[in-house]
Structure 1
Amino acid sequence: MDVWVTAIDPLSPLPSFFELQVCSVISKSALDIAQTYSKKAARAVGRQVTEDEGRLKVWERVGEFLGFGGMAAAEIRSAINNDATISETMYGCTRSSIRLDDTIRVMADVPRRRRIMLAMTEWLIKLVGKMMTGKYVELTGSTTTPTPTLPTLSQIKQITNLTKLFKFLYPYLNFTSESIIFLTHWSYLFGLTLHFTPFLYGTNQVIRRITLNDIRKKKMLKRIPANPSEKFSKAFTVVKKTAAIAAVVFLLSGWIANVREDLRRHRTNNSNNSEVSNAINPPDSVMEGLPGSLRNRLEANKDLCPICSRMRVNPTVCPSGFVFCYRCILMHVREKGTCPIMNSRVGEEELIHLFENS
């Protein structure tokens, strides 16, 4: 079958631009719906365990990951069986590779192993793109730079520089990616290319309509009885699938165990912070000279940091007797060199950690 026929030709085996655009919209909508509902379900389950907002966000991320993984598994399964996505199958389409036969380019079926690798690669690219987008939204919506527990000066500088570099490069990378996709779509619309997406162009694939010959091939394959070697091959395939599923379950269980360990450490850190913080109270004479709002907050809850007015993280005591978050007091001392409450001179070497994460 000669494929030197563009999608705008009514006799072309290639579907129209609008059909493929509808397929793309259906796939994106299905993925968004799956992630949204799995995220809500995970949050509902998490509320039965905890009310802490930080832990609920962890539950939401787990649910979002499971929703993405479920859709990826369904699409990969469809690619293995039908050599097309679920939405493309609904529109009676399949994917074929293009090979050169003498001087004519013809369509050929994609081998099963290659279909699996291509489907997994396509969804891996989608996963990386979503992770980068989510990270960019998180960084642009936050006023603070994420830092590790008990950071050193070099770590803070490295993370700050990497964050600035990522925030600077991401808009250009995203614009380049969207521009390439846009140009590829318009080239397909006007018959300048046979590939609907850059991924199909890079893997030398086209989306075409299912023909009567394809249906006959499937029926013939179902009618042909399997010989012993094929039975052995199928049994070996089942064993490989079982091993792959077991590996995924093992990795997922390990990941869940790591999440639970992080939650346990978070609870332990909070309890230890409260015990240590309750043992040291600010001097009464100093408390009387503080502004009324700050004094009331500290008297109501001695676990609060006087700078950020939140629960202290890695409590650090200042020579004035007040206890702050390590990051809050460190940044203040580096910037001004004084105690934020007493205005007395303080050096970094005078700060004392009361608790350190293991």
Structure 2
Amino acid sequence: MAEHGAHLTTASVVDDQPSIFEVVAQEGLMTAVRPALQHVVKVLAESNPAHYGFFWRWFDEIFTLLDLLLQQHYLSKTSASFSENFYGLKRIVMGDTHRLQRLASAGLPKKQFWKSIIFLVLLPYLKVKLEKLVSSLREEDEYSIHPPSVSRWKQFYRAFLAAYPFVNMAWEGWFLVQQLRYILGKSKQHSPLLNLAGVQLSRLTVQDIQALAHQSTESSMTQQPAKSVNEKIKAALKKALGGVALSLSTGLSVGVFFLQFLEWWYSSENQETIKSLTALPIPPPPVHLDYNSDSPLLPKMKTVCPLCRKTRVNDTALATSGYVFCYRCVFNYVRSHQACPITGYPTEVQHLIKLYSPEN
């Protein structure tokens, strides 16, 4: 029992295997970076929807592209992802008898490199998209009015929604079992994705650190002369991509130290304190959107839907702006545009609020 307890906090000196705390911490790094950046983009989009709404609507794709550049740079230069290199780790090929002779600066072999890119960048993107799809299907299934006859498509996605929690539980359980095997010394990888990529994690050696420092110095002091226009263009593109990746990695390295502050700042306890200190009267609606003005966005009568220009049916308000529409009109608009039809504020389907009149 004492040997297993020692394995939890220390690694083997022979193979420099990192502890479970190191590998879990490096996994949590990129997990914390994404919501922090997403919150920054959301604040910008809400402050100026016309200029920054694009970044909010396409946040997943933009983040995936930046993540691809970042991970490609680190995997080719340090044989590790950004978070793994941040914690002084590298990826080595499983079963490679010469892994102690291969330096981190040499990069991963081509096969392991592309597998790592897929599991580090593409798989998280697909997982996020799948979770959003499941969430939207659940909201549509809960809030939409179902006809008496249900189509086969409705039956299929209802079965999909019913099976998804069990599939997700099996997925998370797979990772948990792998981590337990890693803690008990039964496996060389703490994650099944590393096993699928054909790599395992190891600590950086003194030779790795010296080679990485020498590589950084050499790349900044030496430049290869281009012999043709095509080579000049390729060199310029490579240098630009390297600069973008380096700038992004430096920015993320600095931003990591502010994640704990952001987590505290937006915690529920702190937000309640801020609300109590900044409790002010609710401002009136903008003059140009007042019902008594001549704005073309709003109808003259308050009982008319601004979208279909007919008497509202099944009144529904948007929590982000306060304007009232027909449920069917605003549901279809928000699902397509992710914005309020009047103000342009970023809006999701869950912001729809059903209004009940005294007659109902």
Per the alignment, residue 156 of structure 2 pairs with 162
* CA spacing shift, 1:9–1:67, aligned 2, 3 Å: closer
Q: Match for 1:175: what amino acid? A: M
1-structure distance, mates of 2:229, 2:211: 23
CA distance in 2, matches of 1:230, 1:95: 35
Contact in 2 for aligned 1:43/1:59 (Cα 8 Å): no
* 1: CA distance, partners of 2:210 / 2:197: 27
Mark the CA change 1:236 to 1:185 in structure 2 (over 3 Å): closer, same or farther: farther
Deviation at 1:25, TM superposition (A): 1.4
Q: 1:230 to 1:21 in 2, by over 3 A?
A: farther
> In the aligned structure 1, how far is the partner of 2:75 from the partner of 2:60?
23
The gaps in structure 1 that reach 5 residues or longer are 1-5, 50-55, 148-152, 246-274, 279-295, 315-358
Matching of residues 133-148 of structure 1 within 5 Å:
133-142=131-140, 143-144=142-143
Match status 1:174 vs 2:168: yes
Tell me if the contact between 2:93 and 2:112 (Cα under 8 Å) persists in the aligned partners: no
SS at match of 2:58: helix
Q: 2:95 maps to what in 1?
A: 99
Q: Distance in 2 between matches of 1:9 and 1:220?
A: 27
**Which residues of structure 2 form unaligned runs of 5+?**
1-6, 243-295, 317-324, 331-360
| Equivalent residue number for residue 18 of structure 2 | 15
Q: Contact 1:46/1:59 (CA < 8 Å) preserved in 2? A: no
Which structure has the greater CA radius of gyration?
Answer: 1
* Aligned counterparts of 2:232 and 2:193: Cα–Cα separation in 1: 33
- Percent of aligned pairs with the same amino acid: 14
In the other structure, the counterpart of 2:58 is 62
Residue by residue over 1:170-206, the C-alpha shift from the partner in whole angstroms, topping out at 9 and shown as x without a partner, is 1122111101111111111111111121110111111
Preserved contact between residue 83 and residue 115 of structure 1 (Cα < 8 Å): no
User: Matched residue of 1:99: which SS?
Assistant: coil
Deviation, structure 1 residue 13: 0.6
In structure 2, relative to structure 1, the CA distance for the partners of 1:190 and 1:80 (3 Å cut) is same
Does 1:304 pair with 2:311? yes
Q: Does the C-alpha gap of structure 1 residues 9 and 228 become closer, same or farther in structure 2, counting only changes over 3 Å?
A: same
- Distance in 1 separating the partners of 2:34 and 2:167: 23
CA displacement at 1:100 relative to structure 2: 4.7
Letter in 1 for 2:33: A
SS of aligned partner of 1:118: helix
2:187 to 177, 193, 202: 193
Aligned to 1:271: none
Deviation at 1:24, TM superposition (A): 1.2
| CA–CA separation in structure 2 for the residues paired with 1:196 and 1:232 | 47
Pick from 182, 192, 204: which aligns with 1:210?
A: 204
Query: Structure 1 CA distance, aligned partners of 2:151 and 2:208?
Result: 60
Q: AA paired with 2:19?
A: S
Match of 1:127 in 2: 125
**Counterpart in the other structure of 2:46:** 43
Q: CA separation in 1, counterparts of 2:43 and 2:191?
A: 32
Offset of 1:212 from its aligned partner?
1.7
Residues 29 and 220 of structure 1: CA distance in aligned 2, closer, same or farther (over 3 Å): closer
Quick check: 2:11–2:18 contact (8 Å CA) kept in 1? no
Give the drift of 1:223: 5.5
Paired residue secondary structure (1:84)? coil
- Are the aligned partners of 1:42 and 1:59 in contact in 2 as well (CA < 8 Å)? yes
Query: How far apart, in 1, do the equivalents of 2:56 and 2:224 lie?
Result: 49
Partner of 1:319: none
- Output the CA distance in 2 between the equivalents of 1:235 and 1:208: 37
3-state SS, counterpart of residue 66 of structure 1: helix
How many residues in Structure 1 have an aligned counterpart in Structure 2?
A: 247
Partner of 2:92: helix, strand, or coil?
strand
Deviations 1:118-139 (A, max 9, x none): 3430211001111111222233
Contact map agreement 1:145 1:163 (CA 8 A) in 2: no
Distance 1:170 1:41 in 2: 33
Structure 1 residue 230 displacement after superposition: 11
Secondary structure at the residue paired with 1:121? helix
Q: What is the CA RMSD across the aligned residues, in angstroms?
A: 4.6
Match of 1:34 among 34, 37, 57: 37
Letter in 2 for 1:177: W
CA offset digits 1:308-334 (Å, max 9, x no partner): 6744759xxxxxxxxxxxxxxxxxxxx
TM-score, length basis structure 1: 0.54
Q: 1:189 to 1:173 in 2, by over 3 A?
A: same
Q: 1:188 to 1:38 in 2, by over 3 A?
A: same
Write the distance in 1 (CA, Å) between the matches of 2:81 and 2:55. 29
**Cα distance change, pair 20–244 in 1 and its aligned pair in 2 (3 A):** closer
Q: 2:177 aligns with which of 172, 175, 183?
A: 183
TM-score computed with the length of structure 2 as normaliser: 0.54
Is 2:78–2:212's contact at 8 Å kept on the other side of the alignment?
A: no
- Residue in structure 2 matched with residue 89 of structure 1 by the alignment: 85
- The one-letter code matched in structure 2 to 1:77 is H
